[in-house]
Structure 1
Amino acid sequence: MKKILLGSVSALMFLSGCVSPQPQPQTLESYRRPANTEELIAGSQQVLNDLSNPQVFNPKTCTQFINKVTDYLYNLPADHFVPKTPIEVEALRTRGSEVMDTIFQIRVVLHEKLQEFDAKKDLSKDCIQEIREGFQYARFSEEYLLEWLYSQKVFEFKQTPLMSNEKPNTWTNPKYTGFALKSGDVMLVRGKSYVSAMIARIADEEGNFSHLAIVAEDKLGKKYVVEALIQYGTIITPLEKWRKEADARVALYRQPDEALAKKAARRIYDKARQALDAKKGIKYDFAMDDSDYSTLFCSEVIRYAYDMASDGQFLVPKYRSSVSKFKNNEYPKSLGVTKTSLFAPYDIEVDPRFDFIAEHRYNPLLRQVRMQDAVLQSVYGWMIEKKYDFHWTPQHSIKSYFAKLVRQFGLAKETLPKYMPVQAIKTTVQFEAVAALLEKNIYAKEAEFYKKKGYLPSFQDMLAINEQFRKEDCIKQKEWIKAQRDHVRDEPPPFNDSKFHFFFHNDSKSCE
């Protein structure tokens, strides 16, 4: 895999200390100097200045520039920018909001550069990928800092409707101060469930989001949100009711052609309404095949809207994600995904035809989704790099068929639709079992980690916790296999203390 996402302190900035990114990685020890708020502020401001300077950041230097910054951050220890003295804590408390503004503006400028390079037809595939990575590092940096500022009482959490346009819940592109939601606006969402996230992250390109929704309108101009959910298929929700939901993060993108956006909003509303009124609805598209609109997955809702509104002249996204990282693993196919490319929700981030307006965060959920992302990163990494795969055991197969049977009788409507393929249910059951074990282990290790370190585990730290759990569980499984082999008849059978290696493992004799 490419550089691992750093959702944390170690990424505490797409910025700091990077006033002059080092051409070659230094030893970790050379980075172990005290946290310095001035370094954070000066470093982030310098990166922002460099991005705005065409002599420094341009289509030719794009890949190298971003890669140097992210490589630099990747090699920092997780606690590099954690304040360690009362003076450092007070300095960051005082100027933390200023740092937040700067990192967010880095993302705004990165998106503007994406648009500028594309307009000049000078946007390379490598530059697009590095900009994706830049968004990820910056966003996770903001969120870790934001959580720290909440913990220090710099900010007080107050629940507001989604996209309420007020800090600290929503940070807004300065060009759109005072914005209001418009028909055709696209909302990029990070949901709360593992199911949506595991499907959304199947693509090779990685992102921080798992869902897309669009602001639609009826013939009277009343606004709604249209989206496709695994549980229900395509649904329509009044906009103000939808805004009362709690999602970890929601980013807002807008097509500047207001007439096209408005027409797209009507087309998708009419399609969804007609299907619902006919008591048929539109089924969820588990194959994630956006070439066939008979069923729709979340991204496909947006594609359909703009495709129909433009008579096929405006297809979303402009730059698609690919699906190749699992190679010979049957995992994507077991969920129904057979295409080699797809419209991943976060592809909208690098579609230069949409403006980046704002981003809303629901602080109580940020820690949870960061933990889920770490679990997903670990599990997918093991599948790709260590050739792990699911091996169906009778108990999990029975559980899957039971889930399918229960839904056929109209139960468990909040969980899965009756038409969901049983193979996809089996894979989901297995994946959630593994994910639940890893998440439970991280929660158990958090208090111990905090007591020892004085701060919560970073994304990097969580990956290390997961890896240690995998190794220990693997050893237990191999010890059980040996005990079975050496078992003497008439003695009690050996107990298998392994948590998941009996149904999620590779064929290697090594646990490394």
Structure 2
Amino acid sequence: MKRFVLLGAAAAVGLVTACTSPFKSEVKTYRHPASTDELITGSRKVLADIGNPQVFNAKTCASFVNKVTDYLYYLPADHFLPKNATEVEQLKSIGPEVMDTVFQIRVALHDKLQEFESRNELSKECILEMREGFQYARFSEEYLLDWLYTNKVFTFKKTPIMVNEKPHTWTNPKFSGFELKSGDVLLIRGKSYVSAMIARISDEEGNFSHLAVVGEDKAGKKYIVEALIQYGVIVTPLEKWRQAEDARVALYRQPDEVLAKKAARFMYDHAKGALDRKKGIRYDFAMNDDDYSDLFCSEVIRMAYDKASGGQFIVPKYRSTVSKFKNTDYPRSLGVTKTSLFSPYDIEVDPRFDFVAEYRFMPLLRQVRMQDAVMQSVYGWMIDKDYTFHWAPQHSVKAYFAKMVRQFGVAKDTLPKYMPVDSIKTNVQFEAVATLLEKNIYEKEKEFYQKKGYLPSFQDMLAINEAYRVADCKKHQEYRKQPMTVDNKPLPDESKFHWFFYNKRKKCE
């Protein structure tokens, strides 16, 4: 699977060019300078191609989307960004329509997913490429959205989650004027590094880290039922929950309203009953959805529809795998031992659910993009460069201290008493590295913007992280070569993380 790359507002025309330039050797050269006009003509063309069964069908699905993402992978970040004042005004003018059209490309792809499934033509290769297509299109939308926001084309105000208006929410035209219904599934991206870790833990990476379901009580009142690490399964009145701040929330709906309502009623009764008995339902750190005694976020959805259907409707249709960390203790150190998971974003390629709408909270999008870039780098170093965490005494103190104070009722809002200490240790380790990388990206982003006039792409952020890793590694190597001064006094180790996160070869390449 290709590395997760954000390539700016280039998605639309890139899709079109990809269909005529499928080879990577061709992609690296461009026939003519990019034009902002091409964004709208290109996006319209690719949307039409997806709707044309002679061009896009079950047999061509994987190759079509793969050509798209291959092309986008190699494009420079600024290829379609305006180069002069005239193009700036053009992009301001056409930007909202490009946003609409690229969103409609995602809607059309999901419709095709359902169509191919209904004819029993949906292949694993098509599903995998669809996942990438959704990711690339979404990141491109958000990069363009950021540009339009910076250039004051769009303004943002704090609104409830899933308010049905732009630029906060883009809606599938089939569900214009939608309201949240019982049994609706909400796919969410949180703002913590734990969220970033979950969003990228599987081989099939995604943009999301959490799932929740709209529950319903006997009186018909709606609630959000979800499993959170710090609390276990909780129940929140719908309108109160909608006041929260999450970077993005996508809405998926089961078309069978009777089944959806049964799932909503079952999950509300099950969760509320446990809370009323003062027992609650613990968070499932093992992410084992074969056992409903404890529940993680995705497992809430699985149990709701499993029990409501008498075992006839099991979610998801297509699961994620976890095999990329073969030579490390991760994710076993988190407590995850299964090689097949219900990752939250698996709902995105479950053709039995309709894609209704997607909400974004602009102030958090930049933060989660950086978190994704940080986690992509850390995971990449673990997989490609054999990096691993070497447990340091100060981390042990932090983890065990956190466990101890939690047992005495402290830190109730951050971790449960039963959270395994190894899980705490792993979170401490990741956060130690991630915080350093994120701080560096924020600093470099300012320099990047001042120099180039646009924000760094995902690819640019990965390069920033890599340069930081190499520099930090070299600092640690220098310390190891000469740990003492001429006065036989210890020198300080100026490296920030290589004293506890490195490969066994201790190489910087």
TM-score normalised by length of structure 2: 0.98
Please tell me whether residue 202 in structure 1 is matched to residue 201 in structure 2: yes
- CA 1:414–1:21 in structure 2 vs 1: closer, same or farther (change >3 Å)? farther
Please tell me whether residue 497 in structure 1 is matched to residue 494 in structure 2: yes
1:376 equivalent in structure 2: 375
Contact 2:185/2:213 (8 A) holds in 1: yes
User: What are structure 2's unaligned runs of at least 5 residues?
Assistant: none
2:76 equivalent in structure 1: 77
- CA 1:180–1:92 in structure 2 vs 1: closer, same or farther (change >3 Å)? same
Deviations 1:245-301 (A, max 9, x none): 111000000000000000000010011011100111100000000000000000000
Contact 1:251/1:359 (8 A) holds in 2: yes
1:508 equivalent in structure 2: 505
Supply the distance in 2 between the matched residues of 1:15 and 1:140 (Cα, whole angstroms).
14
2:466 equivalent in structure 1: 467
2:329 equivalent in structure 1: 330
The correspondence of residues 23-42 of structure 1 with structure 2, limited to 5 A, is 23-26=22-25, 30-31=29-30, 33-42=32-41
Please tell me whether residue 349 in structure 1 is matched to residue 360 in structure 2: no
Deviations 1:137-182 (A, max 9, x none): 1000110111111111111112211111100100000000001100
Q: Which moved more, 1:334-343 or 1:32-41?
A: 32-41
Deviations 1:416-471 (A, max 9, x none): 11110001000000000000000000011111111111111111110000000000
User: What are structure 1's unaligned runs of at least 5 residues?
Assistant: none
1:490 Cα deviation from its structure 2 partner:
4.8
Runs of 4+ in 1 over 6 A off after TM superposition: none
2:311 equivalent in structure 1: 312
Supply the distance in 2 between the matched residues of 1:31 and 1:511 (Cα, whole angstroms).
34
Instruction: Give the letter aligned to residue 3 of structure 1.
Output: K
Contact 1:236/1:273 (8 A) holds in 2: yes
1:298 equivalent in structure 2: 297
Deviations 1:157-212 (A, max 9, x none): 12211111100100000000001100000000000111133134211101000000
Instruction: Give the letter aligned to residue 81 of structure 2.
Output: V
Supply the distance in 1 between the matched residues of 2:180 and 2:201 (Cα, whole angstroms).
30
1:428 equivalent in structure 2: 427
Supply the distance in 1 between the matched residues of 2:505 and 2:376 (Cα, whole angstroms).
21
Please tell me whether residue 247 in structure 1 is matched to residue 246 in structure 2: yes
- CA 1:29–1:206 in structure 2 vs 1: closer, same or farther (change >3 Å)? closer
Supply the distance in 1 between the matched residues of 2:31 and 2:19 (Cα, whole angstroms).
17
2:229 equivalent in structure 1: 230
2:358 equivalent in structure 1: 359
Contact 1:202/1:323 (8 A) holds in 2: yes
- CA 1:402–1:95 in structure 2 vs 1: closer, same or farther (change >3 Å)? same
- CA 1:53–1:372 in structure 2 vs 1: closer, same or farther (change >3 Å)? same
- CA 1:133–1:373 in structure 2 vs 1: closer, same or farther (change >3 Å)? same
Supply the distance in 2 between the matched residues of 1:14 and 1:327 (Cα, whole angstroms).
38
Identity %: 71
Contact 1:226/1:269 (8 A) holds in 2: yes
Contact 1:32/1:77 (8 A) holds in 2: no
1:398 equivalent in structure 2: 397
The correspondence of residues 133-172 of structure 1 with structure 2, limited to 5 A, is 133-172=132-171
- CA 1:74–1:8 in structure 2 vs 1: closer, same or farther (change >3 Å)? closer
1:32 Cα deviation from its structure 2 partner:
8.2
Secondary structure of the 1:159 match is coil
1:35 Cα deviation from its structure 2 partner:
3.5
Deviations 1:341-363 (A, max 9, x none): 01000000000000000000000
1:313 Cα deviation from its structure 2 partner:
0.3
- CA 1:29–1:258 in structure 2 vs 1: closer, same or farther (change >3 Å)? closer
1:388 equivalent in structure 2: 387
1:3 equivalent in structure 2: 2
Contact 1:442/1:465 (8 A) holds in 2: yes
Supply the distance in 2 between the matched residues of 1:488 and 1:83 (Cα, whole angstroms).
54
Instruction: Give the letter aligned to residue 494 of structure 2.
Output: D
Instruction: Give the letter aligned to residue 237 of structure 2.
Output: P
- CA 1:509–1:500 in structure 2 vs 1: closer, same or farther (change >3 Å)? closer
2:176 equivalent in structure 1: 177
Supply the distance in 2 between the matched residues of 1:327 and 1:153 (Cα, whole angstroms).
47
Supply the distance in 1 between the matched residues of 2:368 and 2:195 (Cα, whole angstroms).
12
Supply the distance in 2 between the matched residues of 1:157 and 1:293 (Cα, whole angstroms).
40
Supply the distance in 1 between the matched residues of 2:101 and 2:108 (Cα, whole angstroms).
10
2:438 equivalent in structure 1: 439
2:278 equivalent in structure 1: 279
Supply the distance in 2 between the matched residues of 1:29 and 1:222 (Cα, whole angstroms).
56
Supply the distance in 1 between the matched residues of 2:429 and 2:18 (Cα, whole angstroms).
45
1:8 Cα deviation from its structure 2 partner:
3.7
Supply the distance in 2 between the matched residues of 1:18 and 1:98 (Cα, whole angstroms).
19
Contact 2:7/2:75 (8 A) holds in 1: no
Secondary structure of the 1:31 match is coil
Q: How many residues align?
A: 509
Contact 1:184/1:214 (8 A) holds in 2: yes
1:504 Cα deviation from its structure 2 partner:
0.7
1:17 Cα deviation from its structure 2 partner:
5.3
Supply the distance in 1 between the matched residues of 2:159 and 2:103 (Cα, whole angstroms).
20
Secondary structure of the 2:252 match is strand
Contact 1:191/1:248 (8 A) holds in 2: yes
Supply the distance in 1 between the matched residues of 2:16 and 2:467 (Cα, whole angstroms).
30
Contact 1:107/1:138 (8 A) holds in 2: yes
Instruction: Give the letter aligned to residue 425 of structure 2.
Output: K
Secondary structure of the 2:40 match is helix
Contact 1:374/1:463 (8 A) holds in 2: yes
1:375 Cα deviation from its structure 2 partner:
0.4
1:220 equivalent in structure 2: 219
Supply the distance in 2 between the matched residues of 1:16 and 1:129 (Cα, whole angstroms).
17
1:489 Cα deviation from its structure 2 partner:
7.8
- CA 1:301–1:478 in structure 2 vs 1: closer, same or farther (change >3 Å)? same
1:321 equivalent in structure 2: 320
Supply the distance in 2 between the matched residues of 1:322 and 1:483 (Cα, whole angstroms).
44
TM-score normalised by length of structure 1: 0.97
Supply the distance in 2 between the matched residues of 1:33 and 1:482 (Cα, whole angstroms).
51
Supply the distance in 1 between the matched residues of 2:301 and 2:275 (Cα, whole angstroms).
18
Secondary structure of the 1:328 match is coil
